[in-house]
């Protein structure tokens, strides 16, 4: 494990309002790529332990740690500005948890800051419910000297039943917590946690606290929930949104799920988030349709409208521009004379012109399909590899008894399978990435790396198809191939990550 | 929750001292949750015609914790009113996250009438009408007046 506290300084500069929030977290970076940076110190600086260019610094937190972090920040601000922790929490939420900024704002303009944050004028005394003679609740219009009522510092007083009902609805139905405002008409005051504590109890109060923690994570750019099902961990990584053009911040949760801290999608290195989204969208719109179009249609030689041949006759009339042409040779129908159903005019001039125009538009479709098919092939293969491994796993027990290997010793298959999955995931995204790359010298290096990784992966993948009894003999070979795959992957990722960081890639799209 | 008491009281107040240009009554005497509203188009606005514009206010059972819905019964040409048969009005204060249980229907109706006098094109539900309101006020007023005459008086 390395924890080089300086690494992030070159990608983020703590300057404006929202960007300084994580600047005080020097504790970042224990926990992380434990198993990924083994054995590749060949081109690293000999004097300094360094992270691979494609890796980022991050920390995995459990829910209790997140809550503790939140409480610590509240306590700190509370102590500095001399407000109760509940009000300090409202202030912090308002300032998106940027402690320094909030403290500074409060010290410079205490009243205005409190007002804008929805705290309002601070008065002494703890929150209690009261019975006030002549009280009339503005919500239910119940009145009487014995009606228990509550008001925050803004003095909008309502009966406890209505107040409670209001809070319950906000928490239960709208999932609100830190943004619930006073029920008074037009009042912007935030209902602080002290008021909620006083009025609510049991399950609903627990839910309120859970929602508070959740908003805390949602509010902070450096925190992100692990998207894996049932995982409650939070990953702390300080790569900023604006850096996502240059970095693909991939993290691994304590539950072992690897995902992108920028967009929560599963690991999509080397492609940056924006391109990934563009690609996914394109595939959703296009993939199946494109295949069908490619197989069943041609473009009108004059207006390029896509045409499906829906009858047997080769005499086509474009619906749109009324151009008449032959489906077989794409030439002008007029040139066909009377040879109606038997096109033998393959070398007609107009036909070859039309075919070259068509070839152009087909080429762009073919280009897309080239990348798409390889992308989806790796996706598919990763699934098959996994299925195969699951079958193998069952037989690992029998391998243990047959070959006398211990459980620990057969774990090499597990390692190999994991590496295979990871490499296919990377390969898959290299194709989406390549689709958007404009050709230059760098893309050639990239394609070489891609090819090397692909070959390494296929070689390892083959091993899994061997009969079970042979696997034991192949252990050393499989271990070698696994290490080689991992190495090729890191080489490819480092190359792309470095070029991305330095803005070396040129793309064929704006993003 | 005493929502019936609250509604009855609000209704009584509105009937007793109606705000300018607005009258309300229950659509059906046995149902407190459906109100018929008649709104006089503000002076000088294209919605000002002989008759009052009919509409309704629907109160959800969760009222006043849930916002009411206000709509016009006849077609209205206005950036903040849908031109479909619903004629629903888009008011910020009626959005569930904006609504406060202490807000009153009286205020909602007065705000709605104010909106007839001064549309809010930046907060529109009918983008095309809002565009026209901003760029070709004369034509907008013509159409709005035509619609009001045609639909609200028939």
Of A233, A267, A301, which residue is a domain's last?
A267
Q: Where are the domains of chain B?
A: 3-152
The residues that bridge with A61 in the sheet, in sequence order, are: A234
CA neighbours closer than 13 Å in the CB half-sphere of residue B18: 11
Q: A409 and A391 share a domain? A: yes
**Whether A166 contacts chain B with CB within 8 A:** yes
DSSP-derived secondary structure letter, B83: S
In a domain, A509, yes or no: no
Tell me how far apart the alpha carbons of residues A126 and A81 are, in angstroms, rounded to a whole number.
18
The separation between CA A74 and the C-alpha centre of its own chain, rounded to angstroms, equals 29
In a domain, A136, yes or no: yes
Tell me how far apart the alpha carbons of residues B91 and B116 are, in angstroms, rounded to a whole number.
12
The answer to whether A29 and A59 have CB atoms below 8 angstroms apart is yes
Angle at B31 between CA B29 and CA B33, to 5 degrees: 125
| pLDDT score recorded for residue A463 | 84
User: Which one, of A125, A93, A108, lies nearest residue A191 by Cα?
Assistant: A93
Taking contacts as CB-CB distances below 8 angstroms, the residues of chain A near B65 are: 139, 165-166, 169
Model-level ipTM above the cut of 0.95:
no
Q: A415 and A467 share a domain? A: yes
Three-class DSSP category at A224: strand
User: Which chain A residue has its CA at the smallest distance from B7's CA?
Assistant: A140
User: Which chain A residue has its CA at the smallest distance from B99's CA?
Assistant: A185
**Whether A165 contacts chain B with CB within 8 A:** yes
DSSP letter for each residue of A359-427: HHHHHHHHHHHHHHHHHHHHHHHHHHHHHHHHHHHHHHHHHHHHH---TTTTHHHHHHHHHHHHHHHHH
| pLDDT score recorded for residue A480 | 94
Taking contacts as CB-CB distances below 8 angstroms, the residues of chain B near A165 are: 1, 65
Taking contacts as CB-CB distances below 8 angstroms, the residues of chain A near B105 are: none
Q: Do B103 and A162 touch (CB under 8 A)?
A: no
Distance from CA of A75 to the nearest CA of B (A): 30
In tens, the pLDDT along A276-294 reads 988 988 887 765 666 677 6
Range of the domain at A174: 123-200
Q: A25 and A136 share a domain? A: no
Three-class DSSP category at B70: strand
Of A219, A246, A267, which residue is a domain's last?
A267
CA neighbours closer than 13 Å in the CB half-sphere of residue A93: 25
Q: Do A140 and B9 touch (CB under 8 A)?
A: no
In tens, the pLDDT along A306-351 reads 788 766 666 778 877 778 887 777 777 777 655 444 555 445 556 6
Does the annotation mark B132 as catalytic? no
Please tell me which of the candidates B6, B62, B96 has its beta carbon nearest to residue A139.
B6
Question: Which parts of chain B fold into alpha helices (H)?
Answer: 3-16, 105-117, 127-135, 137-147
Q: A40 and A155 share a domain? A: no
pTM (2 decimals)? 0.67
Active-site annotation holder among B70, B90, B112, B124: B90
Distance from CA of B104 to the nearest CA of A (A): 9
Domain count, chain A: 4
Active-site annotation holder among A140, A255, A303, A313: A313
In tens, the pLDDT along A36-88 reads 444 444 444 444 456 888 899 999 999 899 999 999 999 999 999 888 898 89
* CATH number corresponding to B3-152: 3.10.110.10
Three-class DSSP category at A143: strand
- % pLDDT > 70, chain B: 97
| pLDDT score recorded for residue A391 | 79
Distance from CA of A138 to the nearest CA of B (A): 6
In a domain, A250, yes or no: yes
Q: A11 and A102 share a domain? A: no
- Model confidence at A265, pLDDT cuts 50, 70, 90, reads very high
Q: A441 and A487 share a domain? A: yes
Of A171, A200, A229, which residue is a domain's last?
A200
Tell me how far apart the alpha carbons of residues A463 and A477 are, in angstroms, rounded to a whole number.
9
Q: A382 and A481 share a domain? A: yes
Q: A393 and A461 share a domain? A: yes
User: Which chain B residue has its CA at the smallest distance from A136's CA?
Assistant: B6
Among A392-396, A445-449, B92-96, where is mean pLDDT lowest?
A392-396
> Which tokens sit at B81?
């009113």
The answer to whether A391 and A458 have CB atoms below 8 angstroms apart is no
Taking contacts as CB-CB distances below 8 angstroms, the residues of chain A near B100 are: 181, 183-187
* Residues sharing a CB contact under 8 Å with residue A319, sequence separation 6 or more, in sequence order: A305, A307
**Whether B6 contacts chain A with CB within 8 A:** yes
In a domain, A323, yes or no: no
- Model confidence at A271, pLDDT cuts 50, 70, 90, reads very high
């Amino acid at each position: 494990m390395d924890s080089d506290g300086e690494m992030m300084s070159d990608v983020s500069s703590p300057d404006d309002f929202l960007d300084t929030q994580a600047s005080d977290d020097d504790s970042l970076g224990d926990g992380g790529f434990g198993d990924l940076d083994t054995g590749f110190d060949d081109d690293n600086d000999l004097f300094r332990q360094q992270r691979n260019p494609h890796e980022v610094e991050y920390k995995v937190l459990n829910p209790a740690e997140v809550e503790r972090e939140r409480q610590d920040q509240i306590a700190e601000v509370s102590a500095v500005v001399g407000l109760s922790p509940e009000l300090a929490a409202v202030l912090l939420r308002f300032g998106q948890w940027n402690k320094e900024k909030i403290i500074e704002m409060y010290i410079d303009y205490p009243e205005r800051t409190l007002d804008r944050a929805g705290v309002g004028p601070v008065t002494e005394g703890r929150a209690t419910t009261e019975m006030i003679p002549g009280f009339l609740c503005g919500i239910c219009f119940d009145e009487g000297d014995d009606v228990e009522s509550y008001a925050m510092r803004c003095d909008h007083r309502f009966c406890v039943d209505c107040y409670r009902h209001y809070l319950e609805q906000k928490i239960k139905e709208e999932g609100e917590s830190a943004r619930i405002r006073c029920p008074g008409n037009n009042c912007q005051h935030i209902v602080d946690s002290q008021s909620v504590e006083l009025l609510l109890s049991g399950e609903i109060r627990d839910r309120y606290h859970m929602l508070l923690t959740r908003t805390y994570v949602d509010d902070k750019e450096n925190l992100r929930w692990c998207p894996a099902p049932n995982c409650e961990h939070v990953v702390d990584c300080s790569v900023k949104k604006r850096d996502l053009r240059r970095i693909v911040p991939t993290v691994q949760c304590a539950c072992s799920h690897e995902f992108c801290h920028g967009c929560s999608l599963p690991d999509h290195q080397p492609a940056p988030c924006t391109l990934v989204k563009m690609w996914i969208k394109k595939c959703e719109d296009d993939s199946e349709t494109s295949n069908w179009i490619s197989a069943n249609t041609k473009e009108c030689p004059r207006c390029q409208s896509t045409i499906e041949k829906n009858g047997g006759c080769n005499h086509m009339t474009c619906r749109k521009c009324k151009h008449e042409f032959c489906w077989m040779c794409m030439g002008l129908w007029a040139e066909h004379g009377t040879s109606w159903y038997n096109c033998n005019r393959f070398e007609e001039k107009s036909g070859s012109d039309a075919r070259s125009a068509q070839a152009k538009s087909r080429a762009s479709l073919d280009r897309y399909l080239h990348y798409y098919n390889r992308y989806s092939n790796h996706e598919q293969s990763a699934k098959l590899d996994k299925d195969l491994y699951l079958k193998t796993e069952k037989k690992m027990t029998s391998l243990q008894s047959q070959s006398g290997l211990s459980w620990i010793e057969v774990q090499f298959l597990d390692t190999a399978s994991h590496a295979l999955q990871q490499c296919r995931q990377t390969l898959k995204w290299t194709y989406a990435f390549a689709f958007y790359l404009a050709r230059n010298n760098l893309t050639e290096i990239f394609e070489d790396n891609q090819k090397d990784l692909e070959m390494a992966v296929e070689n390892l993948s083959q091993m899994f198809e061997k009969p079970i009894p042979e696997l034991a003999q192949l252990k050393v070979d499989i271990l070698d191939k696994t290490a080689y795959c991992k190495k090729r992957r890191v080489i490819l990722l480092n190359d792309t990550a470095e070029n991305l960081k330095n803005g070396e890639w040129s793309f064929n799209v704006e993003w | 929750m005493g929502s019936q008491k609250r509604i009855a009281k609000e209704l009584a107040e509105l009937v007793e001292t109606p705000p300018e240009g607005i009258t309300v009554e229950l659509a059906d005497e046995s149902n407190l949750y459906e109100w018929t509203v008649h709104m006089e188009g503000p002076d000088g606005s294209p919605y000002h015609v002989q008759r009052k514009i009919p509409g309704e206010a629907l109160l959800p059972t969760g009222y006043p914790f849930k916002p009411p819905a206000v709509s016009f019964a006849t077609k209205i040409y206005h950036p903040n009113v849908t031109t479909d048969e619903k004629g629903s009005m888009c008011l910020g204060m009626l959005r569930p996250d904006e609504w406060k249980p202490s807000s009153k229907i009286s205020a909602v109706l007065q705000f709605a009438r104010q909106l007839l006098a001064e549309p809010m094109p930046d907060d529109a539900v009918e983008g095309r009408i809002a565009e026209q309101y901003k760029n070709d006020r004369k034509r907008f007023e013509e159409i709005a007046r035509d619609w009001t005459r045609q639909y609200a008086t028939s």
